[in-house]
Amino acid sequence: MGLDMYAYAAPKEGTEDSYARNQRELAYWRKHPNLHGWMEQLWRSKNDANSLLDPMFNGVELELTWEDITQLEKDIKERNLPDTTGFFFGSDSDDRYYEQDLEFVAEARTQLFLGFKVFYNSSW
């Protein structure tokens, strides 16, 4: 068990079946807790999900916009991902994933430019 994290692109239009078949994986991370914490903060801000009674951010599909990706790149480069802990999350791995994170940002921008949606999801 542990924190598994995924980013993928999918067409903007189509049936749920065609949408699922046409997903394209952009990145996979294993135990990158601070990136997961960044995504959770984004999800909570988009969904006004700030209460402790709100569901856990696990298995939640989060759509990432151009603005989100731009902010993520800034926070990665400034080493500003939030310290995040969890039983299955592992330890800080920002340095280990730094280059991969920036590669994901570049690929996400490409997919958004090409007209796809970009999503983040996780399982722990």
* Domain count for the chain: 1
Q: How do residues 43-57 score in pLDDT, each as one tens digit?
A: 999 887 655 556 688
Q: Using 50, 70 and 90 to split pLDDT, how confident is the model at 97?
A: confident
Distance CA 112, CA 9 (A): 8
Q: CA–CA distance from 95 to each of 43, 80, 86, 98 (Å)?
A: 24, 12, 19, 5
Mean pLDDT of the chain: 85
Q: How do residues 14-46 score in pLDDT, each as one tens digit?
A: 555 555 557 899 999 988 889 999 999 999 998
Mean pLDDT over residues 72-79, rounded? 97
Q: Using 50, 70 and 90 to split pLDDT, how confident is the model at 59?
A: confident
Mean pLDDT over residues 84-112, rounded? 83
Residue 107 has pLDDT above 70, yes or no: yes
**Domain containing residue 52:** 4-123
Helix (H, G, I), strand (E, B) or coil at 40: helix
